[in-house]
Structure 1
Amino acid sequence: MFLLFVLLHFGVCYAYDQLVVPNWTIATLSTTYQDFDASRAVDGNFIQNVFSCSHTDIASTIKEAWLQIDLKRIYSIKYVKFVYRNDFPVTVRLPGYSIRGSNGSTLPSPENTCYQDPGGNTLPTIIQNDCEMTSQYVWIYQNNTLDGPCPILEICEVQVFGCETGRFGFNCSKTCNHCKNNETCNIDTGHCDISGCAINYSPPLCKACADGFFGDNCTGICNTTCDSCNKVNGSCDSGCHPGWKGNYCNEACADGFFGDNCTGICNTTCDSCNKVNGSCDSGCHPGWKGSYCNEECDNGTYGKECKAACGHCFNQEPCYHINGTCLTGCESGYLGNLCQSPASQPATEWKTWLISSLTVILAVGAGVVAVCVIQAKRRGIPTTSNENEMTAHISTNQ
């Protein structure tokens, strides 16, 4: 008897908590026979004599008998164990009983049955039934009339084993608080068998989404340009990597802007700046150099990539770093905006041009005279020498 008491009473022998607490848990009978009230089923007394047991009334008008155990809060229940009287010829009044669960104090419908005895067999006086459910109230129910004028229950002690909701496993040592719709996880595995995991938790144990994932079952992939994304909808609530903007950090900075939240303004001397750090990766405007195009060309150079050399500026002043213009004029002997042409070069070129032009004109004139003389001879027109001879002849005759 002592061994039976130890095995039944101490929860350490089981993998789950014993949820019935003597002098705390409330029991109620559908009817009561004499003074065999329901409290005897939850008083911690495992003696199986009828005088230590609860007992429903005996009357031909009674159609059902039940014992209600109120655990005072909702638990995740694994199994129910109860002790029946053993001072009566076997358990003749018990076959066909059922166990139901509910969260309300009204007798639940048969759909809430977690165990149904098939009947037809002689039952032991100590019975344990698997009865997985999430309930506050446990009901042992009988509507079979087997010995006597009506259904009768004679239960000496009830134990209910399970865990607080949100816990599972051996000795209820593990937690599981993230099933969808606040449903309770499987008391053995911790899995959310009914509706799966709540959003932003991943199966099978409904752990929080790992970094980089979000949404139902953590199947959504966060944008890689996100500092850290919202585990529910993937939005980048903590901001974007430099160079990106928008709720989901999927919009590059507009041209001319860069950096965190695209608040950096690119240097105007940049061909186009890097949207992350503002560097001028595509090069600088003429006259500028450096990673950010914020340095003027060194003295003596100008233009694109500062590769052009300045001309002969007055007093060796540096030229304008953008286009090479000598702003203070040229040194003696040089002309032009860039001071790269020697001053003598234009005169020499003019003389050469003039001589060449005169030579051409003289040559053309000589050619024209020659042509005229030839044509005159062919037409018989006296030439100048003939005219002179004729004049001399006339003078002689006179």
Structure 2
Amino acid sequence: MYFVLIVGVFVHLTSDSSNALLVNIAWKKPATMSSVFSNETPATNAVDGNTNSVYGKGSLMHTKNNEASAWWRVDLQTQIESPLVVIYFRTDFTLRRNGVQVFTASVPSYTPWEGSLCHTVRDEGANIPDVLNTTCPGKWRYLTVYTNTSNDAHGAILDFAEVEVWLDHECNNGTYGIDCNNSCKSRHCVTSSVQCHPLTGQCAGGCQEGWMGQDCLQECTSDMFGQNCSLRCADRYCKGVSICPPNGACSNGCQPGWQLDNCTQDFWLNMALNKPTKMSSLFIRTSTGRLGVDGDTTGVYRAGTMMHTQLNETSAWWQVDLQTQVESALVVINFRTDYTARRNGLELFTGSEPSTEPTQGMLCHAVKGRPDGKDIPSALGVTCPDTWRYLTVYTQTGNDEWGAVLDFAEVKILVCTSGKYGPNCARDCSDRHCKTSSSSCERVSGTCQGGCKDGWTGPDCSKENESPEDDTQADHALSPGIYALMGAVAGVLVTLAATGAMYVCLLRQGRLPMLKKFIYEKQVKGASDLQPRDQHEMKKYDSLDTDVYYNVITAASNINAGSAQPDTDKVCGNDYAGLDGTKLDNQNYDVLETKVYENA
């Protein structure tokens, strides 16, 4: 038989090929102790899986000196029965092994010696093995290592490397855990399986987005997302303020220059990285301006990654020299995330020459929002136009009691990497249709310097010319139904025109009996109301084009009631049936056309 150690788990293979799993139940479980010798010797060192037993290697627990007693305890977080307990003693100093006692209990106790005494170590320290193995019977949950024995001049002390609690373990029917009460199907693994590790339920391929832990049952905290909760929400470049779902998707899209649903991928070259900086003042010696261009976007002050100006100032500024000119570059500021009140009021200035005044140059952007800054995104992106070399971040806004202060994590000044151009650097130089093809190009517009190939237009030769043949083909593409409708409309119009012409013809020939009677009555009535006019008045009316009255009187005096000329005597267009006047009358009628009907 032999043992294989795999992250705190022994697998014991027997000669008959049956499998038995030995599990170290104490691994990574909560541990406490009576006192701590130093920050490098906490209680958790004894359950971290490291059995290195030499002091100074960061693997020992160690209580204080000169104490009357000392204890260390682990909570296994479940009841177990008769496991094997293994203690790895310190090997570079052996005097403190004698007098060590091991107690077990089902409930926590106020005194370390309460419960069942499992084992007492008695002998000269040098004669005690480096590794203690003992079986502690019964059912219990808590294990305590205790001593009140002083084996040297420094009192009762505990200093050992590791405590292991081994238990045979096996689960059936797709379950796992100490009590086999967790279902393998309930895990959020990338690769699902009905079988899993009988103790930990570990997902071999990692967790789905939004989940973490060995068995992928722990949801991501609110500031993390992605597989195994490995990505920070603060590292997304969302447009506006966006919640952070398990997949990190930005609800309002991405800021310029970023892509994917979670706005974490770009095609940018950071021109500000590790470039020279200067600032108006220092908060402390380590909060220098270079932290604003070191590539670390961590926005927590205690992480030591932020620049920070002095408090109680009326204004503050920070400047970076790119050491080269850039054109229409994207500026991204990663703000401090554990305190948001100093975002509002920041101004960005650009310039081609160094200046003694921070506000000289061109104002690119002013950050405006609430004084507490909570409506301003933690990563702000803005494109600063024209050609420039220096960027200055400036503020004279006091959003809290400490005056105008700058404290941000990082400033990035981004241009497209070689081979990319355009908005978000999303276009490939090689996709243009230039006369002279090239895999690199101008990073803003991608302009083809030598012009476009035939059939293409635009600065970057990406727009295809429209062919006149396309319009002809579009006309031919009209459906038969459209042609039928157009024919029907044309037919109706022709019919209406012919009917109107016939009506006018019949009207002028007087072949409409009811209308002739109506005209006669109107003429007679009109004539009876007219008064004689002398020649002078007639001439006046003639000049006013109102001679209709004169002609109507003349015509009406020659009309016999109910009489009419035969319709067959005249032709359409020159027939004056209904008027028995002279040729002169007819000529007058020609001039008046149809006015006789209106005025009569």
What is the TM-score when the length of structure 1 is the normalising length?
Answer: 0.39
Which of the pair has the greater relative contact order for Cα pairs under 8 Å at 6+ separation? Answer: 1
Larger radius of gyration: 1
